[in-house]
Amino acid sequence: MEKDSKAELESFLESLPPVQFCCVYGSALHPNNRDKSKMVDFILAVPDPLNWHSENIKLNEAHYASGMVYGGARLITGVADNIGIGVHFNPYVNWNCKMLKYGVVRMHDLVQDIRNWERFYLSGRLQKPVHLLVDDLDIENVNMVNLRAAVSAALLLLPLKFSEEDLYAKICSLSYMGDLRMLFAEDRYKVKKIVQGQFDLFQLMYKPFVEEYEAKEVLRCSSSGTHQASISQDYGLSAAHAIVSSLPPAIRRQMGLKLGERKCLTESGQVVLEPVIGSREEAAKCMQKILRRKVMFSSARQAISGLLSVGGANAMRYLGNKIRKAWKSWR
């Protein structure tokens, strides 16, 4: 991100109550983006959303739908936690001739989703390139476990041979599997555009984990004379075990409930339960089904929460823009 753009976005944070974490994401920040009218998306993590929204309503009442202002911070957090998945979004916020959208989440919930894919919502966002503006608790480092797990999940779903772009596209697609919006309200080429528009950033994010699997002889990478590598992977059962062991604990537990469990000894001498893998294909299908269900559940709950919290006019405006973009991609 250019220094001037970063400084401008950081200045927006000064108008809000303090946050522990903030990142910016979305197509507006693609290196090749020329459409300056696109909305810039923020994720803000705070220790206590109830107190944060109480303070923010005093400072920025116009950011909220009138019904939310009337109901106050208790209604805002109640809708987010009990109907949605713990995230409240304020879209269509005008700031210095830019259109912004920011989502507010409890820090504890963000960390749990990163580590365990509890909702597989914000963790999916953080598997794609983002620009950090605030990181008081070193979430960038915590997110390493999320990135490693994303590589593992993608490898389980990829064929024997694939390109580097195929790997990043599969990683990018994980959090869209089962997303109801992809049926009618998203660009059908969204994943491809994200990866091709930010290929160098994906490479920077995931190169350490590709090299890690290469050192374990799970992957073999060869340069094809282009900007990206050609990759082949070990399709044996022992490699599948190694890949599954890097998935989040909650996902492995769910796989174990469906496939059966066995006791394993970790390098630290701890006995843990791991899913029984009869075949790589069986493990891949099981994991895919679990992720698809998580994404479908989370995206549906968040959509309903969003409709209730942003107000009818903004909800129709946002949905209309999404549907127009989707239809345009199908023409």
Strand partners, 275: 261
Task: State pTM to two decimals.
Answer: 0.90
Q: Per residue in 240-258, pLDDT tens?
A: 999 999 999 999 999 999 9
The confidence score (pLDDT) of residue 155 equals 98
Strand partners, 261: 275
Residue 246: strand, helix, or coil: coil
The confidence score (pLDDT) of residue 272 equals 83
8 Å CB contact between 190 and 143: no
The confidence score (pLDDT) of residue 317 equals 60
The confidence score (pLDDT) of residue 6 equals 78
8 Å CB contact between 317 and 177: no
Q: Calculate ∠ Cα 187-192-195, nearest 5°.
A: 125
Residue 232: strand, helix, or coil: strand
| Ranges in the chain, pLDDT < 70 | 1-4, 27-37, 181-187, 224-226, 311-331
% of the chain with per-residue pLDDT over 90: 70
Say how far apart CA 150 and CA 128 lie, in whole Å.
10
The confidence score (pLDDT) of residue 8 equals 84
Strand partners, 88: 104
The confidence score (pLDDT) of residue 287 equals 97
The confidence score (pLDDT) of residue 257 equals 95
The confidence score (pLDDT) of residue 48 equals 98
